[in-house]
Amino acid sequence: MQKKVNFIGGADISFNKFSETVYAGIVVLRYPSMELHAHSLVISQSKFPYLPGLLSFREIPALLEAWEQLDLKPDVVMVDGHGIAHPRRLGIATHFGLVTGYPTLGCAKKVLTGSYVEPHSSKGSTVPLMDGKEQIGIAFRTKDKVKPMIISPGNLLDFKDAESLVLYSISGYRLPEPTRQAHLFVNRLRREEIRPGVVHYPWKQGKLF
């Protein structure tokens, strides 16, 4: 990635299979300190049916609403989901990156397609995720002795970029900080603890969770 990263985004979506309501959130963190700069939250309605393998078409409108609310767009966005580690090479991270024109990477909790040899049990260990002879992602151990995260480029990034961004975003949890923060905010939105909209945090506010 040629552009210097000063702000990194984290994006997450939550919904029930049989509900039209979609909860979406994007956090903007200063990089590499991971101090919270802003969050943008949306509650939206989707008419697109729940179809495995095509979930990004259900999710993308709400995520784009959250994106448009942000005054400052992050230099790169880490999405809770897949990039090219997808049967059609078009996971939510790739879809979002193509629509916005921004660099993106996917950071998923499980494999959607492909296979890998188990990496070493220590934090930071990685192995390629392969689909036949094609590398489509990285199995990345983000914490000692926990199940690896599945990392894949989404848009305008390569494997080296994606791995480096994740490496500098892990902070003692299985989820890297950008998607972890986005996940927490979206869950608070679902529980009606916070409202939709944008909130900006003053410099040195730091992490909230």
Q: What domains are there in the chain, each with its CATH number?
A: 8-106+151-193 (3.30.2170.10)
Do residues 82 and 92 make contact, with C-beta atoms less than 8 angstroms apart?
Answer: yes
- Mean pLDDT check: name the lowest of 37-46, 49-58, 121-130, 160-169: 49-58
The rounded distance, in Å, linking the Cα atoms of 61 and 50 is: 14
3-class SS letters over 95-124: HHHHHHCCCEEEEECCCCCCECCCCCCCCC
Distance CA 171, CA 85 (A): 24
In the block, which residue shows the tokens 């495995």?
52
Report how far residue 94's alpha carbon sits from residue 71's, in angstroms, rounded to the nearest whole number: 22
pLDDT at 58: 80
Distance of CA 40 to the CA centre of its chain: 14
| pLDDT band for position 203 (cuts 50, 70, 90) | low
97 versus 206: the higher-pLDDT residue is 97
> Which of the two residues, 51 and 30, has the higher pLDDT score?
30
Asked whether residue 207 carries a pLDDT value surpassing 70, the answer given is no
- Helix, strand, or coil here: 36? strand
Question: CB of 94 within 8 A of CB of 155?
Answer: yes
63's tokens: 């995520």
**Is 50 exceeded by the pLDDT of residue 161?**
yes
Compute the Cα dihedral for 113, 152, 124, 29 and give only its sign: negative
The pLDDT of residue 209 is above 50: no
What SS3 class is residue 9? Answer: strand
